[in-house]
Amino acid sequence: LSVPEKPRVVSLYGSYAEAWLLAGGQVVGVTQDAIDERNLDLPQETSVVGSVKEPNVEEIIALEPDLVILSSDIAAQVDLQDTLETAGLSCAYYRVDTFEDYDFMMQLYCAVTGRDDLYQTNVTQVADQIAQVKDTAANAETHSNVLLIRAFSTGIKAKTDDELAGVILNELGAHNIADDHPSMLEDLSLEEVISADPDYIFVTTMGDEQKALDYLDSLIAENPAWSELTAVKENHYVVLPKDLFHYKPNNRWGESYEYLAEILYPSLFQS
């Protein structure tokens, strides 16, 4: 990135703003999620430039940033590129689905800030933590079949390694039944789930968590056979915390690995 030594930065995604702060940078503008979801400790004068899906381009330009950090995974932000660059602003787009993606982003951030010490703290040490978890999990004698569900207020879908929880489950040796039933990715059939009978069911939520879980509960209530699933009977039905599995965990990525590993392999991770 070709930016001044201490650039004025606007981030249009809360977790990317948090990562920039972890790299020793400062922000002059953020989207509302940085406050509502990430609870970032920001100076009072920090501007809020709209939301993730509806960023305010006029407010962004008015801040005269040296760099605008955006998500390549959000159409409304991709559509801003021409407008921002025509206004003379430098843009950096990221998509972070894995720890390796986070590592790549932080390498660039810390190169700009010159804070290799913060890269060591917030990336290298986290990588060591992840490696230790994976090494321990590799000693497991058996591996579980799992189902990963993303729940909305109006629907549910199975997810695989296109979501960070799916990536981690795969790296820890779990087998996602959705890999065997691609139709689950478009329209999750409870009948298919009952037939596959996974050992664990993990749920992430989008949007209003309570509404998403209420919708999922209503579907389960309509199908009594759900209560006969192994995962449900053995209390292996887990709603994953948003801070570790929906928002990008950044320097807490190691905690995300540990969280799932302790559930999958309790005998290996007893403290």
User: In 10 A of CB 54, how many CB atoms?
Assistant: 10
Element (DSSP H or E) covering residue 163: none
Which stretches of 168-215 are assigned E, i.e. beta strand?
175-176, 200-205
pTM for this prediction:
0.91
User: Which residues sit opposite 145 in a β-bridge?
Assistant: 175
Strands (E), the chain: 9-11, 29-30, 47-48, 67-71, 90-94, 145-151, 156-158, 175-176, 200-205, 237-239
Supply 117's token pair.
């010490």
pLDDT tens track for 103-146: 999 999 999 999 999 999 999 999 999 999 999 999 999 899 99
pLDDT digits (tens, 9 = 90+) for 234-270: 989 899 998 999 889 999 999 999 999 999 999 999 7
Q: Indicate the length of the chain as a whole number.
A: 271
Cβ pair 95, 72 in contact under 8 A: yes
The number of C-alpha atoms within 13 Å of 19 and in the hemisphere containing its C-beta is: 29
- What is the per-residue pLDDT across 15-54, written as a single tens digit (0 to 9) for each? 999 999 999 999 999 999 999 989 999 999 999 999 999 9
